[in-house]
Amino acid sequence: MYYIVTGAAGFIGSNLVKALNERGENNIIAVDNFKKADKFKNLVDCEIADYLDKEDFLKKLQEGFFDGLVTAVLHQGACSDTMETDGRYMMENNYRYTLELLNYCQSEEIPFLYASSASVYGGGGVFKESREYESPLNVYAFSKFLFDQIVRRRWQKRSAQIVGLRYFNVYGAREQHKGRMASVAYHFFNQYRAEGKVKLFEGCDGYANGGQLRDFVSIEDVVKVNMYFLDNPNKSGIFNLGTGQAQSFNDVAVATINTLRTAENKPALSLAELHQQGILSYIPFPDALKGKYQSFTQADISALRSSGYSEAFLTVEQGTARYVEQMLKTAE
């Protein structure tokens, strides 16, 4: 029997493959698209049974090749570039492909865990898994939103576990291939090491410079929640996956810089001190992001807690420090 992980060489997918390995599971079919070839590095320390291109995998699935051979599908594959303007591609890749997998898993009675997104909430201030709070701002968010709607329509007739996880701002190991879409912690780390300083966006939507608030969640916690649902196939639903506590971009920058300063045997500094010394500064907010930017996100995790998940989440200070220390160990 096999676990199938799509987007397996991507950020979240590769971390899930590694987590399965740590549980002694090596019968994993890794599905991805190696158009960005450097993603292979995320799987170098992982054990898998086979790799399949996303199109080859879908064809085999439709032909019945995997019938009776699958324990669960963890679907993380998607175009995650929120600035992508090709709506046709986005809907085919994120919506239609996911629908094919859902149909298969339901027909074969296979648990299906998939990546949704906090972007479905758009610019609203309430982040609760309910239709009235959902209003996507771009086609990426719409692709995720529409699939969640299909799941809801089919809810009463489901034949096996379906779990949609609305990821908030995930950061952590194995995201280096994402380029501009990598987390701010990753970018701050590289900025500081290259220039000795970090640049943040100026304020917008009434927030102070660097004061926009996001629910930053560590990949370590994301993996734990996925494993929790794998261990509890009787639990289904669409769940927010964040910490439940918004923190500012300034908080991420301060945590990143001070962890690096500690490694350099330098004292930690406050936000005001970092700004005063020119180590932290602000640049104009990009016109291209105006009207398409979430200045505030904070997951309502009451549904997740009600499902029985009780683990504490890492704060920005805890998670960022751990992440920076990991990056330092592998930095050239």
The C-alpha atoms of residue 172 and residue 327 are separated, in whole angstroms, by 9
Closest Cα partner for 147 from 83, 111, 102? 102
Cα 114 to the center of its chain, rounded Å: 11
The C-alpha atoms of residue 221 and residue 49 are separated, in whole angstroms, by 26
User: In this structure, what are the phi and psi dihedrals at residue 138, rounded to the nearest 5 degrees?
Assistant: -145, 170
DSSP-assigned letter for residue 173: S
- State the catalytic residue, choosing from 140, 167, 171, 192: 140
- State the catalytic residue, choosing from 18, 60, 128, 178: 178
Look-up of token digits 């399965």:
20
User: What are 107-110's contacts with CB under 8 Å, separation 24+?
Assistant: 107/159, 108/67, 108/68, 108/70, 108/160, 109/159, 109/160, 110/70, 110/71, 110/72, 110/73, 110/160
Contact criterion met (CB below 8 Å) for 238 and 129 = yes
Helix (H/G/I), strand (E/B), else coil: 112: strand
* C-alpha distances in Å from residue 295, one per residue of 167, 213, 289: 16, 6, 11
Closest Cα partner for 56 from 94, 90, 95, 97? 97
The answer to whether residue 3 is catalytic is no
Paired tokens of 57: 């995998």
DSSP-assigned letter for residue 45: T
User: In this structure, what are the phi and psi dihedrals at residue 109, rounded to the nearest 5 degrees?
Assistant: 55, 50
Paired tokens of 306: 């009600």
CA atoms within 13 A on the CB side of 31: 22
The C-alpha atoms of residue 83 and residue 25 are separated, in whole angstroms, by 36
Q: Sort strands 213-214 and 247-248 into parallel, antiparallel or unpaired.
A: antiparallel
The answer to whether residue 133 is catalytic is no
Q: Which residues are catalytic?
A: 140, 178
